[in-house]
Amino acid sequence: MSIDKSTIQNLRQDYRSASLLESDVAENPYSQFEKWFTEALNAEVLEPNAMTLATANTNGIPSARIVLLKEFTNEGFVFYTNYNSQKGKEIESNPYAALIFFWADLERQIRIEGVVEKVSEEESNQYFNSRPKGSQLGALTSPQSETINSREFLEKKLADLEKQYEDKEVIKPEHWGGYRVIPNRIEFWQGQSNRLHDRIVYIQGKDKNWKFERLAP
């Protein structure tokens, strides 16, 4: 390794942003999320909708990757993927997931935990139909998460599909669609000086109402 250990250990940022106080936060986490997401958009952070998605298999072994948030409502957080992918298989057998947004420029992290369900076929179709043709064909081309022999395999398959669909609309494949993470816990983390960061977590009770509390950093 050519990177010296101390180079990494000395990477240190002292956060000095506005604090996150109980008196400032919204009554429910969806409004709070909307507020912070709007601020991320206004700050023009790179890929504000990129989020880490953590899933686990039935042995409890976790895996994580980035996906893009495509919709959020009071029902949850939606992303689109290949249902046959590793994440898809893990979600089918163990329908719990965690999401992380990290907006470095704003010194903010949001942690979301909940249950995952597929969005309706109608919603998936609607979103699929709104995508550029190149992305639609990409979804048909890639057996996501499977081993392939070469890049040429993908390029050839895409070229064949481009010909096949030259004058035709692309129909969403069955194995492609959305998942909605329906949260029961959402934490808002705001970096502060001397590592005394602010953490406000909303937890949903059995009555479905949200309460928030402060956690130690």
The yes-or-no answer on residue 12 being catalytic is no
Q: Which is nearer to ligand FMN, 22 or 105 (CB)?
A: 105
Q: How far is the CB of 146 from ligand FMN (least distance, A)?
A: 9
Query: Both tokens of residue 203?
Result: 């937890």
Q: How far is the CB of 121 from ligand FMN (least distance, A)?
A: 18
Number of H helices, E strands in the chain: 6, 9
Question: Which position among 28, 109, 144, 184 is part of the footprint of ligand FMN (CB under 6 A)?
Answer: 144
79 contributes a contact to ligand FMN by CB under 6 A: yes
Q: How far is the CB of 68 from ligand FMN (least distance, A)?
A: 4
47 contributes a contact to ligand FMN by CB under 6 A: yes
63 contributes a contact to ligand FMN by CB under 6 A: yes
Question: Which position among 26, 54, 56, 68 is part of the footprint of ligand FMN (CB under 6 A)?
Answer: 68
92 contributes a contact to ligand FMN by CB under 6 A: no
49 contributes a contact to ligand FMN by CB under 6 A: no
The conformation of residue 169, written as its DSSP 8-state character, comes to P
Chain position carrying tokens 């409890």: 60
In the chain, the amino acid numbered 10 is N
Q: Which is nearer to ligand FMN, 28 or 145 (CB)?
A: 145
Q: Per DSSP, what are the bridge partners of residue 118? A: 179
The conformation of residue 111, written as its DSSP 8-state character, comes to E
Residue 17 Cα distances to 41, 108, 182, 198, angstroms: 17, 9, 29, 10
Query: Both tokens of residue 145?
Result: 């998460």
Chain position carrying tokens 């669609």: 177
Task: Give the span between the Cα atoms of 197 and 64, in whole angstroms.
Answer: 25
Q: Which is nearer to ligand FMN, 99 or 200 (CB)?
A: 99
Answer for the pair 102, 109: CB distance below 8 angstroms, yes or no.
Answer: yes
Q: Which is nearer to ligand FMN, 86 or 204 (CB)?
A: 86
The catalytic site residues sit at 195
Binding site for ligand FMN (CB under 6 A): 47, 50, 63, 65-68, 79-82, 85-87, 144-145
